[in-house]
Structure 1
Amino acid sequence: MNEYKVINPSLGFRNRIQKLEDLLNTHAREGWRVCSMVDNGHGSVFMIVFERDKNR
């Protein structure tokens, strides 16, 4: 069985790529995998959906 987490990241205007990479790596260390990423049509990440095995 899987569990899911949805976040709306606040990356600001500076170092956006590095902040996104750090956020993804932090969640990966906790066992989360990116299931989906949605942008706002202007190149900014609006929402990230993560999933992981609930019985890990």
Structure 2
Amino acid sequence: MAHAWPFLGREREIAAVGRALAGGANVVLDGAAGVGKSHLAAHALPCATRVRASRA
């Protein structure tokens, strides 16, 4: 997923999602439209060893 803008200032969120994924937890990113859920998921994804994604 290519993004036009750099992803700045979300290190804490990336780390939290990464820790949860690395520990085998399920993660749900919830928020209003346009707040960066997909962008956060794309940056945290490398922390996952197995990925199963769905969209509601």
TM range (shorter): 0.3 to 0.5
Q: Please identify which structure carries the higher helix content.
A: 2
Q: Pick 1 or 2: higher relative contact order, CA cutoff 8 A, min separation 6.
A: 1
TM-score by length of 1: 0.35
Q: Please identify which structure carries the higher strand content.
A: 1
- Rg larger in 1 or in 2? 1
TM-score by length of 2: 0.35
